[in-house]
Structure 1
Amino acid sequence: MLTSKVQASQSTLQNLPLKMPDGFKTTVIAPRNPKLVKREDKAKKLTPSVYAQELSQTTEERLANTYETHLPRILELLDMSETTHHKFSTVDVDQPFFQPYPSEIVFQNYMPSETYEVPLVLRNTDKIPHLVKVVEEASLYFRVVSPVDIGSKVAPGMTSTFTILFTPQENKDYIHRLICVTEREKFEVPIRAIGARAILDFPDQLHFPLCPVKCSMQKTLLVRNIGNGRAKFHPFSVEPSVGTLGVGESMQMTIEFLPRTTGDHSQQLLLHYNTGEDVYVSLYGASSDVNVRLDRNSVLLEKTYITMASERTVAILNRSDSIVHYQWKSFATQEEEEQHRFCMELQQEEADEMEQFLIECGADPNMRDRLSLLSRTFQHRRRQLRREPLLFNDKHIILEPQEGDIWPNRTAEINIIFKPQEARLYQHTVYCDVTGRESRLPLRIKAEGMGPKLQFNFDLLDVGNVFIGSKHSYEVLVSNKGLIDGPYRLEPPSTAMGLCFSFSPTEGMVPPGACHALEVRFSSDKLGTFFEEFRFTVVGNPQPLKLTFRGCVMGPTFHFSVLELNFGEVSFGFPYTLTCSLSNTSLVSMSFDLRIPADGNGADSITTTEQISQLDRNEWTAVDRVSERPQEFRVTPTSGSIRAQGQMDIKVTLCSNTVQQYSLALVVDVHGVGEEVLALPIKASCPTAPPFRPALWLTWWVSCG
């Protein structure tokens, strides 16, 4: 769309010395009832024809065609009590008593050394008479001729007319002002002399025919300078954008119309002269969408193995009479694209660079001079980023060609190449930005990548019950049902039971249609059930290949050959021995310990033979005082190891030193499994023993012999 902009600087004019003229050349009569308007309403936009018409008028014609006035600028308020006894007025304090006409005195189209005059009419707008005078500022070119009755008050509604004389020395601009003084205020009336001016014969309006959206249309004009001054102008969006044109000369100017949206577009072209005038040319154009479309809105590509590629074609149909240019974009609108240009990556990179630079400045203050260099570097990169077209870019889905031109009533074929890097679903919506279409044409692309198709001959293996410490080996087959090589690698297990498994090999590659055997070894020194899932990473597949083992690790199985050891009634101090067998029925060897927890913890029990041989010992008299119970049972062996499917004879000897009923148990502690895994009941009974006197003990022993 066309835009306008001022690109020229205002020239500053200075007051020049004034030379009083000797005669007059013209007389101008002002209208009696001009229309009063506010000063801010005076500014208006000039069209080239109005501008040319105003500048072609003489001073008299311009004054005769002036029908509006505005309130003058008050310079100073005075004390009315010093000049008049009228204390009140119907005129507001922000307005002067007298309204000047013209509000601005303008001289134009004059000749050097000629004298021109313009009457200045001051009308009393109050309801009481007032005095008014015009104070001259020194000037060589302007002079004021006061009326004959200058010292008299002007009645309400009446006027006082002053004559302004102007004698230029050159055909150039002059500025001056008159100071009008009443009893209450001072106000000014500006004087402006317009010298030679350039006038370019631009048309007031310029219409462009119907144009496709986003397409450029140009109009070339032959512009002449019909004024009397050299033209230096600054139009925007025009070629040339700045120019100089002598009096009577002509040149070509090209105006470009580039609509971004459909519909009607209107704007004003600003033509700024170096003398300060602004002229506006009305521009109008209309744009619409052309018949350009895709032959389909979505594309479904075939499933494709990674490292391979597949291809489909989509067509762009140009059924218009214009040449269109297309580009494949990642964003639906230009606004989204612009937001993406300046976010994330460049901003983060700039922040990181700045932080690192500040750290270096802390160590070396002399490096602070490089701050401006760093800022300019990123400014340059931003400018480069603005110029980049930001075409659609994806390493998995490639569009070829990404941009190009399509001639009228032709078709462009676009190849969509799919190169997956991993096995997953790919979905993209790309947008075709076409000149002649306001909105971008969406194309939805859907494709699926496939990785190696590896599978095990089973997903779950139930190994059942296995003995602790036993070694087991299993064979697992992994086959490739796909069309590409299948590299795999075992992810190391992290659980305690998972570490009891070992795989050989842990990684490899299965060619298409082939089968590899994996040896799995298992041996555990921990009891309990397990459910272990092993993961194999397959290159190209986001989901790992899984293999599960479950089972139960149990201790060795064993039993005694008897249900219990029953000694019956035993004699005090006489040892009795019973024998049994401990059988290992498992497939692994078993290490064990045997003990009788309820047996005494004191010294070994003493047989009657030992007592008789030591009748003179004083300790016998202290037997009743011994608080510790003697250890009356002896197990042989107390520990050992039984091979798989083997057995071992166990001897248990009881030498009772205690009169009691025995009900104990022989327990088995299995190494690596636990304590008291199995218990064999022991029963015995010892009758009452005779009093402890050596003679009686000897007689009792002989009788029992």
Structure 2
Amino acid sequence: MLTSKVQAVHSALQSLPLKMPEGFRSKVVAPRNPKLVKHEDRARRLSPSVYAREMSQTTEERLANTHEMHPPHILELLDMSETTHQKFSAMDMDQPFFQPYPSEIVFQNYMPSETYEVPLVLRNNDKIPRLVKVVEEDSLYFKVVSPVDVCNKVAPGMACTFTVLFTPEENKDYIHRLICVTEREKFEVPIRAIGARAILDFPDHVHFPLCPVKCSSQKTLLVRNIGNGEASFHLSTQSPFSVEPPIGTLGVGGSMQVTVDFLPTITGDHSQQLLLHYHTGEDVYISLYGASTDVSVRLDKNSVLVEKTYITMANQRTVAILNRSDTIVHYQWKSFATEEEEEQHKLRFIRLHCASGGVERLLCLSSPEISIIFKPKEARLYQHTVYCDVTGREARLPLRIKGEGIGPKLQFNFDQLDMGSIFIGSKHSYEVFLNKGLIDAPYRLVPPSTAMGLCFSFNPTEGMVPSGACHALEVRFSSDKLGTFSEEFHFTVVGNPEPLSLTFRGCVMGPMFHFSVPELNFGEVSFGFPNMLTCWLSNTSLVPMSFGLRIPGDGTGRHSVTSMEQVSQLDRNEWRPADKLSERPREFKVTPSAGTIRAQSQMDIQVTLCSNTVQQYTLALVVDVQGVGEEVLALPIRAR
């Protein structure tokens, strides 16, 4: 609904007599019932037909078809105390006293040196009489003719009419303005003279028939320049539409072809605008519409299970694409379900090879077979989902692929070896055998890191077992440490994620030996008289034994002296009984005190006692074995 003020303007304009000075070539009459609109409501999109119609009109026709007016742009507010005694008004400060019609004066389709005229109607919108005048800026082409009663006030709701004259020198664009001065403000009325213009006869609407999704459809338009000026233009639109050529130049009366493409990526209706921008500044919009749908294209199966395959070998299965539509479609295998995921993961790759190539055509009502080649690199389970991107289908067709890679069937002739009891320092050799299945198996020993593991050596530490062959591996062991052990060794096999293991168990023990007598019993011995007993030490083990003999309870001082040595001493005061010495003398002598006994051999041992003390002897001859320990065996010694 219009406001009462606008309705009053409309009513006044209906009864407004517009008289033009005589002697001019044309007269222009204002239309009835113009509509007052705001500046922000003026924006409109011109279709090709509306643009062609407007550009083809004469100045008179352009004015006669102008049905809207808008408040003018206020340039300056004046001090009403200097211009009038009527300082109060019902009009808001952002609305001028007078409403101009037309809001913009337009001249078009004119001839050089001819004079054209357009009336400018200024309606008093206030409730009291007001003065108005038009200030004319200097111009060679525009002139304003004021009414006879221009100095009189205009009654409320009434109008005064000025005449704008335009005499062009050539058919080109001109820009000017008129300054209207009231008692409160100055506002402007723009003047625009539109020179020669190009008019391309595009249709207002371009409709595409229903087409399969992801399939391209084209429309070729024959476009003519029916205007009176050369056309330099730009064409642009948005997906799923595109246009070719995007730029062009077309002379008056010339014609050219413009192709509009429609390539939808999703099903449904699609609408966009094709923008035609002329070099003279005008924008024209052509409506584009198209619809797309899915067609009958599918895979004959949703999943494929490939048989177990040895690494370095290949296996294959096939899948068929069924096209039951009447459209030729193209297909391409992708790694991801959507194009967005594909952009995010461009570096990822899936081993899918199509026998017919990456992107291929699929003829109508055909069922090509696609070969899926499975060539595993390692022994594990492979599972992937790949997608067939088919024109005519919005969503990519998923295909689940599953296959298991098998590594070399490499194994030892035993998983673990019980080596039993092993003498310390002995060297042992074993032979294990590697055998396998249908493919070659390169292997390598993982170097051990434990102390007992370093006692083992393998020859060779790496190699390759041919298909179906048996490969011998020599294992050597020698340890100088006692105790039980269980060592697990690992061998990496190319193609197998898990290593091959081999375990050795056993116990390293010391040498076995014994004395020939249960004890050395000297009985009663005389002071200073040496007594000797003999025995032998037997090594019954298979390795040599290095030993040491000692008697822990013997004295630590000087050697004991015999009775003959005591008698021969000149000064008998130099000797005294051992119990009066600060250190007890060494009364026992073992010969030999150390040595090495070969495997399964024996050695004579002599123990001599020369007593320098009066006492009861209860001691032991102990054996220290190199690499085994001290006091490994003790032989009791008794004397009095």
Give the structure-2-normalised TM-score. Answer: 0.90
Out of 389, 392, 398, the residue aligned to residue 436 of structure 1 is 392
Where is the helix percentage greater, Structure 1 or Structure 2?
1
| 1:209-358 correspondence runs (5 A) | 209-236=209-236, 237-341=242-346
Aligned counterpart, 1:479 = 435
| 5+ long unaligned stretches in structure 2 | 1-20, 237-241
Indicate the RMSD between aligned Cα atoms, in angstroms: 2.5
Aligned counterpart, 1:147 = 147
CA distance in 2, matches of 1:321, 1:187: 67
Aligned counterpart, 1:204 = 204
Displacement of 1:419 in angstroms is 2.5
Taking a change above 3 Å as real, the CA distance of residues 559 and 624 of structure 1, as seen in their structure-2 partners, is closer
> Residue 23 of structure 1 contacts residue 115 of structure 1 at CA under 8 Å; is this kept in 2?
no
Aligned counterpart, 1:93 = 93
Displacement of 1:162 in angstroms is 1.6
1:76-131 Cα distance to aligned partner (Å, 9 max, x none): 33333333355544433333332222111111232333222222122233344433
SS of 1:234's equivalent in the other structure is strand
Displacement of 1:292 in angstroms is 1.2
Q: Does 1:601 align with 2:556?
A: yes
Q: Does 1:463 align with 2:468?
A: no
CA distance in 2, matches of 1:667, 1:624: 25
> Residue 306 of structure 2 contacts residue 404 of structure 2 at CA under 8 Å; is this kept in 1?
yes
> Residue 330 of structure 2 contacts residue 390 of structure 2 at CA under 8 Å; is this kept in 1?
yes
Aligned counterpart, 2:538 = 583
Taking a change above 3 Å as real, the CA distance of residues 683 and 92 of structure 1, as seen in their structure-2 partners, is farther
> Residue 578 of structure 2 contacts residue 584 of structure 2 at CA under 8 Å; is this kept in 1?
no
What is the one-letter code of the residue matched to 2:231?
A
CA distance in 1, matches of 2:86, 2:631: 132
What is the one-letter code of the residue matched to 2:97?
F
Displacement of 1:39 in angstroms is 0.9
Displacement of 1:488 in angstroms is 2.9
1:25-69 Cα distance to aligned partner (Å, 9 max, x none): 233333575322221210100111222222233222322222222
CA distance in 2, matches of 1:660, 1:294: 109
Q: Does 1:446 align with 2:402?
A: yes
> Residue 578 of structure 2 contacts residue 612 of structure 2 at CA under 8 Å; is this kept in 1?
no
Aligned counterpart, 1:701 = none
CA distance in 2, matches of 1:123, 1:33: 14
CA distance in 2, matches of 1:467, 1:147: 138
CA distance in 2, matches of 1:408, 1:120: 69
1:328-372 Cα distance to aligned partner (Å, 9 max, x none): 22222212222345xx7xxxxxxxxxxxxxxxxxxxxxxxxxxxx
> Residue 31 of structure 2 contacts residue 65 of structure 2 at CA under 8 Å; is this kept in 1?
no
Aligned counterpart, 1:84 = 84
Aligned counterpart, 1:41 = 41
CA distance in 1, matches of 2:103, 2:196: 23
SS of 1:149's equivalent in the other structure is coil
> Residue 134 of structure 1 contacts residue 180 of structure 1 at CA under 8 Å; is this kept in 2?
yes
Displacement of 1:189 in angstroms is 0.9
Displacement of 1:568 in angstroms is 4.5
| 1:18-29 correspondence runs (5 A) | 23-29=23-29
What is the one-letter code of the residue matched to 1:597?
P
SS of 1:602's equivalent in the other structure is coil
Where is the strand percentage greater, Structure 1 or Structure 2?
2
Taking a change above 3 Å as real, the CA distance of residues 606 and 100 of structure 1, as seen in their structure-2 partners, is same
Q: Does 1:511 align with 2:466?
A: yes
CA distance in 2, matches of 1:466, 1:677: 18
Displacement of 1:473 in angstroms is 1.6
CA distance in 1, matches of 2:522, 2:152: 162
CA distance in 2, matches of 1:54, 1:121: 22
Displacement of 1:623 in angstroms is 6.0
Aligned counterpart, 2:362 = 406
Displacement of 1:266 in angstroms is 0.6
What is the one-letter code of the residue matched to 1:525?
D
Aligned counterpart, 2:371 = 415
| 5+ long unaligned stretches in structure 1 | 1-20, 345-391, 686-705
Q: Does 1:125 align with 2:80?
A: no
Displacement of 1:603 in angstroms is 0.4
CA distance in 1, matches of 2:165, 2:628: 130
Q: Does 1:610 align with 2:565?
A: yes
> Residue 276 of structure 2 contacts residue 284 of structure 2 at CA under 8 Å; is this kept in 1?
yes
1:168-207 Cα distance to aligned partner (Å, 9 max, x none): 2222221111112233332211001122222222221111
CA distance in 1, matches of 2:491, 2:49: 85
Taking a change above 3 Å as real, the CA distance of residues 134 and 660 of structure 1, as seen in their structure-2 partners, is farther
Give the structure-1-normalised TM-score. Answer: 0.82
> Residue 397 of structure 1 contacts residue 419 of structure 1 at CA under 8 Å; is this kept in 2?
no
> Residue 592 of structure 2 contacts residue 605 of structure 2 at CA under 8 Å; is this kept in 1?
yes
1:500-526 Cα distance to aligned partner (Å, 9 max, x none): 222233344333333222222211122
What is the one-letter code of the residue matched to 2:382?
Y
Question: Sequence identity of aligned pairs in percent?
Answer: 79
Out of 510, 515, 520, the residue aligned to residue 555 of structure 1 is 510
CA distance in 2, matches of 1:144, 1:397: 81
Displacement of 1:259 in angstroms is 0.8
Taking a change above 3 Å as real, the CA distance of residues 678 and 201 of structure 1, as seen in their structure-2 partners, is same
CA distance in 2, matches of 1:189, 1:523: 114
> Residue 398 of structure 1 contacts residue 418 of structure 1 at CA under 8 Å; is this kept in 2?
no
Displacement of 1:529 in angstroms is 2.3
Displacement of 1:450 in angstroms is 2.2
CA distance in 1, matches of 2:577, 2:316: 107
Taking a change above 3 Å as real, the CA distance of residues 680 and 124 of structure 1, as seen in their structure-2 partners, is farther
SS of 1:25's equivalent in the other structure is coil
What is the one-letter code of the residue matched to 1:598?
G
Higher relative contact order (CA 8 A, sep 6+): 1
Taking a change above 3 Å as real, the CA distance of residues 397 and 150 of structure 1, as seen in their structure-2 partners, is closer
SS of 1:410's equivalent in the other structure is coil
1:630-668 Cα distance to aligned partner (Å, 9 max, x none): 112211211111222222232322223234443433221
> Residue 472 of structure 1 contacts residue 521 of structure 1 at CA under 8 Å; is this kept in 2?
yes
User: Between Structure 1 and Structure 2, how many residues are aligned?
Assistant: 614
Aligned counterpart, 2:634 = 679
Q: Does 1:535 align with 2:490?
A: yes
Aligned counterpart, 1:666 = 621
CA distance in 2, matches of 1:397, 1:587: 65
Structure 1 stretch 168-177 or stretch 42-51: which is displaced more?
Answer: 168-177
CA distance in 1, matches of 2:499, 2:99: 95
> Residue 574 of structure 1 contacts residue 656 of structure 1 at CA under 8 Å; is this kept in 2?
yes
What is the one-letter code of the residue matched to 2:245?
P
CA distance in 1, matches of 2:496, 2:419: 29
> Residue 352 of structure 2 contacts residue 373 of structure 2 at CA under 8 Å; is this kept in 1?
yes
Structure 1 stretch 61-70 or stretch 435-444: which is displaced more?
Answer: 61-70
What is the one-letter code of the residue matched to 2:461?
T
CA distance in 1, matches of 2:158, 2:423: 132
